[in-house]
């Protein structure tokens, strides 16, 4: 092998090793990155709170391919269970027609021109991640299909409660899943979630036709 080429290879390896030796560990790098994002979030200050992780998010934000321990998963489920609030009416099943509108409505919490969109209520935009009524084309596939949800599961009180809780805080069922915690974060109200439950389980809902 060419001697000069060998020298340059050794020098390159030495530089890489030296660089790695002085670079922060993963946890420190994560904190530095989070601070950079936080400091750069200069618009819509009322939404800067989005960057503050609660305990569940801290657990779920493990670095790389690190898996949840049984203890961590149990804590996430416990916190999710504690977050759930039920509607004042006590009725977990609302109006499926209102739920249909919510499932296709993506408005709310959007930042436009540096200001948060002003709305009385937000939408749920279920269609972004799930297939809904049969024949709908403009739907997502990130989450499982919800087509025939009530037809498959029925509309018992137990199913209504399960569905309500899953929408309110999905982590009560699947710790750290990608589904937004729509009720726990305040994005949807308990009453809105009852309409979503009706949309999913009511036999008259287009999702079950």
Helices and strands, counts by H and E, the chain: 8, 2
Per CATH, the number for 77-208 is 1.10.760.10
Q: What is the pLDDT along the chain (209 residues), one digit of tens a residue?
A: 555 555 445 545 554 555 555 667 877 887 788 788 777 776 666 666 777 889 999 999 887 778 999 999 999 999 999 999 999 999 999 999 999 999 999 888 777 777 777 778 899 999 999 999 999 998 999 999 999 999 999 999 999 999 999 999 999 999 999 999 999 999 999 999 999 999 999 999 999 99
Domains of the chain by residue range: 77-208
The reported pLDDT for the residue numbered 202 is 98
pTM exceeds cut of 0.95:
no
Total residue count of the chain as it appears in this document: 209
The reported pLDDT for the residue numbered 15 is 47
SS3 173: coil
For 152-169, letters b (16+ CB in 10 Å) and e give ebebeeebbebbbbbbbb
SS3 111: strand
């Amino acid at each position: 092998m060419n001697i000069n080429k060998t020298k340059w290879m050794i020098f390159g390896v030495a530089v890489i090793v030296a660089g790695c030796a002085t670079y922060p560990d993963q946890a420190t790098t994560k904190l530095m990155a989070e601070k950079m994002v936080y400091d750069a979030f200069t618009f819509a200050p009322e939404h800067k709170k989005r960057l503050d992780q609660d305990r569940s998010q801290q657990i779920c934000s493990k670095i790389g391919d690190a898996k949840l321990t049984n203890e961590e998963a149990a804590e996430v489920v416990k916190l999710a269970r504690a977050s759930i609030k039920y509607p004042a009416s006590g009725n977990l099943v609302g109006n499926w027609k209102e739920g249909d509108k919510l499932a296709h409505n993506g408005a709310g919490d959007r930042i436009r021109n540096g200001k948060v969109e002003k709305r009385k209520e937000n939408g749920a935009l279920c269609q972004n991640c799930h297939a809904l009524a049969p024949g709908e084309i403009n739907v997502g596939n990130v989450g499982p299909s919800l087509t025939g949800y009530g037809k498959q599961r029925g509309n018992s009180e137990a199913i209504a409660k399960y569905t309500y809780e899953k929408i309110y805080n999905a982590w009560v069922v699947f710790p750290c899943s990608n589904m937004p915690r729509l009720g726990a974060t305040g994005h949807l109200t308990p009453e809105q979630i009852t309409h979503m439950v009706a949309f999913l389980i009511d036999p008259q809902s287009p999702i079950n036709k």
